[in-house]
A and B are shown apart, each in its own frame.
Chain A
Amino acid sequence: MNTSELLTPNMGVFALLGGIAAFGAVGVVAFNNATRSALCLVLTFFTLAFLYFTLTAEMIGILQIVVYTGAIMVLFLFVIMLLNLGALKSLFEDRDPKMLIGGVLGLGMAALLGSQVLAPMAKVTQMRAPEGIGSPQSVGYSLFSTYLYPFEIASVLLLLGIVGSILLAKRRI
């Protein structure tokens, strides 16, 4: 693929969304303030939902907004703000030489994975999934027919999560 083949409007949209997601991800790690990290993560999740829309997985994309951005990150923000209320200002982390080692390790892992996974996939440019995939009808149909057992087990898992978090949060059992 030449560079000129790559400069399509679709690629521009992907570059914009991917850039915002990457910037948000780096912000999560880089900010010292936990609230700013959480807000950067919200931005990343929101942008990822749009990336799912470009992959025509609209049901998963809207579920990403409802579940991740709308519920899980709100939970994170709640906990961060409640812990701030405990007058804990001592969460400032100073620079550590371990940070450099961590960065080098991460880079090494990315290089290893990238060389093994990205190289064979470089020639794939055609979207070969059939029409209508990603619509609520398809997802719902497959969840209730082929994947019924995992669906029910996932609901039991969520029930366990509810019971567990209530038990952890009660002051007196």
Chain B
Amino acid sequence: MAGVPLVAYLALGLFLFSVGVVGVIIRRNPIVIFMCIELMLNAVNLTFLAFAKYMPSKLPTGTTPVAEASMSGQVMVIFVMAVAAAEVAVGLGIIMAIFRLRKEIDIDEMNLLRG
């Protein structure tokens, strides 16, 4: 919006990202860890869009249509959303498979690969 400085959006994105990082470190429930990863991805989305709006990559020159000029930020966000959707589907499938096998989902107990 007009009148809101860029650092406001960036600070909010940074806050969401660090809350997500802290959540991944602290929590032991893998589903909540997954949700914190999604939070981090959303913080990144917000940062992409803020930069795309405030400092677009290439301003239109003459007759270049808008779409060619500075859409890279928004397209990046679309691809982040697509990748996040696929990742959530597969990741939750993995968690369900582990739960079916071991009947518990404490991340600290999943240490079969420990050398």
Direct contact of A and B (CB under 8 A): yes
| A93-B2 contact given A60-B49, A129-B56, A161-B87, CB 8 Å threshold | no
**A96–B4 Cα gap in the complex (Å)?**
40
In the complex, which range does the number of interface residues on chain A fall in?
35 or more
Main secondary structure of the interface of B (DSSP, over half): helix
**A14–B25 Cα gap in the complex (Å)?**
29
Residue among A6, A28, A68 making CB contact with B19, cutoff 8 Å: A28
A165 on the B face (CB < 8 A): yes
**A33–B22 Cα gap in the complex (Å)?**
17
**Which positions 6-43 of chain B face chain A at CB distance < 8 Å?**
6-12, 14-23, 25-29, 31-32, 34-36, 38-39, 42
Contact at B2–A114, with CB atoms within 8 Å? Answer: no
Contact at B16–A21, with CB atoms within 8 Å? Answer: yes
Number of interchain pairs (Cβ within 8 Å):
268
User: Residue on B with the closest CB to A31?
Assistant: B32
In the complex, which range does the number of interface residues on chain B fall in?
35 or more
Contact at B27–A129, with CB atoms within 8 Å? Answer: no
Residue among B12, B85, B87, B96 making CB contact with A22, cutoff 8 Å: B12
**Which positions 116-154 of chain A face chain B at CB distance < 8 Å?**
117-118, 121-122, 124-134, 137-139, 141-143, 145-147, 150, 154
| A138-B67 contact given A37-B32, A158-B86, CB 8 Å threshold | yes
B66 on the A face (CB < 8 A): yes
| A72-B85 contact given A57-B74, A154-B79, A164-B93, CB 8 Å threshold | yes
A143 to chain B, nearest CB (A): 6
B115 on the A face (CB < 8 A): no
9 extra A-B contacts, CB within 8 A, seeds A124-B7, A169-B97: A22-B15, A29-B23, A37-B35, A41-B35, A83-B99, A130-B69, A157-B82, A161-B86, A165-B93
Residues of chain B having any CB pair with chain A under 8 Å: 1-12, 14-23, 25-29, 31-32, 34-36, 38-39, 42, 45-46, 49-50, 52-56, 59-60, 65-71, 74-75, 77-79, 81-90, 92-97, 99, 103-106
